[in-house]
Structure formats: C-alpha cells, structure tokens
Amino acid sequence: YSRPHRQGREIFGNIVKWGEPWRLGANEATEIRVFQPVTIQGKQIPVGQYTLYAIPYEDRWTIIFNSELYTWGLRFNTAKDIASFDIPVSTKDRMVEYFTIVFDETEKGADLVLAWANKEARLPLQF
C-alpha cells in the first residue's frame, strides 16, 4: 500500500471525506492476500487476493473486500465486492504521521489495524 503523509493537514472529514469511498492509501488501491480462509464477523473470506476499500464515517468505518485487482485510485467495480464490514473507529491522543496498516496478533487470529492522524480502526480476523 502507498503511505500518504499527513503533513499537518486535517485528514478525516477533509482530505478523506466522511461517507465517501477511500482506497486505504494513495495511488494504486491497497491489496491484501489471504493464504488461508479467514472469518470476519461470521463471514468467511476464501483464499485469494483482494482490493481493500473503506468508507469512513465519524463513528465507524465500512471495510470492503473486492475481487477486482490492480486498480488505480477509486475506479472499482462494486459488483465485485466480496464482503463488507462495519467496524468502530476510535480517536487517539497521539498523531500518526504516515497512514499505517499493521497486523496485531490476538488469541483467535489478528486485528488488521488501520491508523492515520488521530484515528484508529481494527478489523478482527479469525483463522
């Protein structure tokens, strides 16, 4: 994924608009490869490679797995959406300068952590 830099800008509600799709980074859309079936909120995501998008809202984010690969920006075909998940977003005291995606190990799998500016969202993955 491309890691945009905050550079003192107000990100959410400004650069990244509330209620509008976001490619979770910059330039080419962010992709994730799943090497074994993953369960998210009771839905199974099969082995494969997916494009990730988000629709951020002030109180939650909708995370979308889409099967169309190698897309630029926000040119994606919603008919190829595999699944979507609403997850809470929290406001943190510290600022994250570069958009960051990391995995945080949990008892049942891992959280896909998305952080930028003072916002953090976690998508629990079970495998």
CB neighbours of residue 22 within 10 Å = 19
Question: What's residue 82's pLDDT?
Answer: 96
Q: What is the pTM of this model?
A: 0.93
Confidence check: pLDDT of 1 > 80? no
- Average pLDDT over the chain, rounded to whole? 94
Question: What's residue 26's pLDDT?
Answer: 84
Question: What's residue 71's pLDDT?
Answer: 86
Confidence check: pLDDT of 73 > 80? no
Q: Quick one: average pLDDT of 39-50?
A: 98
Q: Quick one: average pLDDT of 8-37?
A: 93
Question: What's residue 70's pLDDT?
Answer: 87
Conformational region of residue 7, where left means phi above 0, alpha means psi within -120 to 50, and beta covers everything else: left
| Cα separations in angstroms, 49 against 1, 83, 89 | 14, 13, 25
Confidence check: pLDDT of 21 > 90? yes
Question: What's residue 28's pLDDT?
Answer: 85
pLDDT category at 27 given cuts 50, 70, 90 is: confident
Distance CA 21, CA 52 (A): 10
Question: What's residue 67's pLDDT?
Answer: 96
